Amino acid sequence: MQIGELSRRTGVSVRMLRYYEEEGLLQPSRRDSGYRDYGPAEEQLVRRIRVFSDAGLKLHAIRTLLPCVLNDRPELELCNEVRATLNREIGGIEERIACLESSRDILVGYLRQDAKRPRIGVRLQR
């Protein structure tokens, strides 16, 4: 299948499909014309990349996950690597969540303060 159809099927833009390739996540075969040719395996792979990508992983991180998915290195070692990567990513996400929660609390705090006083915080000397 050509890149346009794969794009339509997966909802990933043509631009991004080429970008995935540039980043080493995809290696579609080429026709004589130079056109990229994707098979069902690639389509599956793209869908999987999308899941991780939607989950907020950067392509760089996803790439470290793919060897296990593609199974072109010994299983156990890689699955350990993958578990480590996932754990690291989950940790990062939770860190960001905690950060956002404290940000929200700060803003909520301002809002409460504002409800009590006419102005935010201490008045500036101007």
Partner DNA sequence: CTACAGTCTCACAGCGCTGTCAGGGTCAAG
Partner DNA sequence: CTTGACCCTGACAGCGCTGTGAGACTGTAG
**Contact track, DNA, 41-70, x by CB under 7 A:** ------------x----xxx----------
Q: Considering the complex, what minimum distance in angstroms separates the CB of residue 118 from a second copy?
A: 6
Burial class (CB in 10 A: 0-12, 13-18, 19+), 92: middle
65 binds, among a second copy, DNA, none (CB under 5 to 8 A by kind): a second copy
Q: State how far Cα 23 lies from the chain centre.
A: 13
In eight-state DSSP terms, residue 124 is P
Tell me how many residues contact DNA (CB under 7 A): 21
Name, in order, each residue with C-beta under 8 angstroms of 85's C-beta and a sequence gap of 6 or more: 61, 64, 65
Cβ atoms 20, 63 nearer than 8 A: no
d(CA 97, CA 23): 28
Residue 10 interacts with which of DNA, a second copy, none, CB < 5 to 8 Å by class: none
Write down the least CB distance from residue 20 to a second copy, Å: 15
CA 38 to CA 30: how far, in whole Å? 9
**Contacts with a second copy, residue ranges (CB under 8 A):** 40-41, 44-45, 48, 51, 54-57, 65, 68-71, 75, 79, 82-83, 86-87, 89-90, 93-94, 96-97, 99-101, 103-104, 106-108, 110-111, 114, 118-126
**Contacts with DNA, residue ranges (CB under 7 A):** 2-5, 7, 13-16, 18-19, 31-36, 53, 58-60
